[in-house]
A = this chain, B = another copy of it.
Amino acid sequence: MSIASGPTGGPVLIVGSVAYDSVRTPFGEVTEVLGGAASYASVSASFFSPVRMVGVVGEDFTYEHVATLAHRDIDLAGLQRSSGKTFRWSGYYEYDLNQAHTIATELNVFQDFRPDLPANYRDTPYVFLANIEPGLQLSVLDQMRRPKLVVCDTMNFWIESAREKLLEVLARCDIALMNDAEAREITGEPNLITAARRVLDLGPGIAIIKKGEHGALMMSRESCFTAPSYPLEEIRDPTGAGDTFAGGLIGYLARCGETDDETLRRAVIAGSVMASFTVEDFSLDRLLRLSPEEVAERYHEIVAMTRFGAF
């Protein structure tokens, strides 16, 4: 299929943080640049499908950034503007780039964020609940009318502090997305394959375990799929890679209008492709200058890198 043709499955609703990030890596440093899970996921998904964004920003959120998102076919009717400052995160990465070290988190307007969906959002068929407090994820689901597919992300903080509500979210979603450490933590199972299977016992039909540079593992009750990450020689900033993956995944699924195993596999690769671009530069810079042709080309490169013949 071509991403140039029109959508078949309908738009994607994305709920999560919109932030101003300050990030230092061995390859550079940026201050108060556009970030947040919803920003990365929405721009990534917008390559495949129309996006409806739900989040909150402060009075300091610039028109330039509003325009940046709006230009990508992202509906901002669900982006609340509150009095106060936009959520801020600052952190740094060492040479291995695998671990974000947080310097400061200022919740600001995000502290009192209560997702309130515009009426026309409630019928959105594809929903991505990015990493926010599980109670808020549930309140979004309560406002939706029979979505076709719900993907949820989370983080170690909620596994430890809001486990019961998180289990409710998992029981109500179709695809649980988490990284390897989170899958081990939520199931108490050190073996990653077993952990992925145990996540399925919590409700979702599909578990997708993100392994960073080592790719992703998708587990369902019938099938197991291992996807590599695109081998990059230059990674400038890993911030947003997981959210970009999620956006590409759900955007591609919405674009295809199917959620069978074959389509899911291609969606995982599409998500990996999008994430591989995000980490090539700071903030959303690489995604914002990315062409659909580059996306298709890198997908083909992954095909070439992974194919092998029969025994």
Contacts and interface: CB of A to CB of B under 8 A. Distances in A.
A224 B270 CA distance: 19
A296 interface: yes
A303 B310 contact: yes
A96 B31 CA distance: 38
Interface centre among A193, A268, A300 (most CB of B within 10 A): A193
> How many protomers of this protein does the assembly include?
2
Interface string A237-275: 000000000000000000000000010011011100000
Interface string A197-239: 1000000000000010111010000011111100111110000
Contact of A226 (B192, B228, B309): B228
Nearest to A2: B311
A299 interface: yes
Nearest to A310: B303
Interface of A: 1, 3, 95-96, 190-194, 197, 211, 213-215, 217, 223-228, 231-235, 262, 265-266, 268-270, 296, 299-300, 303-311
Closest 4 CB pairs of A and B: A265-B308, A226-B228, A299-B311, A214-B214
